[in-house]
Amino acid sequence: GDSVTQMEGPVTLSEEAFLTINCTYTATGYPSLFWYVQYPGEGLQLLLKATKADDKGSNKGFEATYRKETTSFHLEKGSVQVSDSAVYFCALFTGTASKLTFGTGTRLQVTL
C-alpha cells in the first residue's frame, strides 16, 4: 500500500537558518505529492504541491521537488522565521484509494 515516511521531530532552528525536512514515499500508481502545514491550534493548510516528476512546488519561501528516482519530496526553506513554527505533514494522493496518505508530521520550532 501507499505510505509516507518523514523525518522525526522536533526540529529546532534559529531564525534565518536553513531548513530541510525529509520525506520519502512508496505508492502504487503515480502520486501527487503535498506538504501541509498546521499552525498551533489550527487545521491543516496546503503549503505546496507537485503533480509529476521533476515538478517543483513553492510557496511562502518553501520549496519541494518531486524526485521520482529517489521517491522523495523534501521540504526546504533558505531562511526560516519564528512564524514558521508549526507541524509539517508530507502527503500523497494516487486516486486509487480516494484519500490522502500522510506522514506522521514534523514539528518545527524556530527560536530568536
Question: Which residues here bind other proteins, judged by CB under 8 A?
Answer: 4, 32, 34, 36, 42-46, 49, 51, 89, 93, 95, 98-100, 102-105
Nearer to other proteins, 35 or 84 (CB): 35
Residue 16 beta carbon to other proteins: minimum distance, rounded to whole angstroms: 29
- The C-alpha cell at 76 is 526546504
- Minimum CB distance to other proteins smaller for 78 or for 95: 95
Helix (H, G, I), strand (E, B) or coil at 15: coil
Q: Residue 29 or 78: which CB sits closer to other proteins?
A: 29
The CA dihedral of 42, 21, 68, 2, to the nearest 10 degrees, is -50
What secondary structure does DSSP assign to 90-105, as a single string?
EEEE-SSSSSEEE---
- CA–CA dist 90, 43 (Å, integer): 15
Instruction: Write down the least CB distance from residue 68 to other proteins, Å.
Output: 15
Write down the least CB distance from residue 62 to other proteins, Å: 15
CA angle at residue 86 from 83 to 89, to 5 degrees?
A: 135
Q: How far is the CB of 14 from other proteins (least distance, A)?
A: 26
- Of 36 and 73, nearer to other proteins (C-beta) is 36
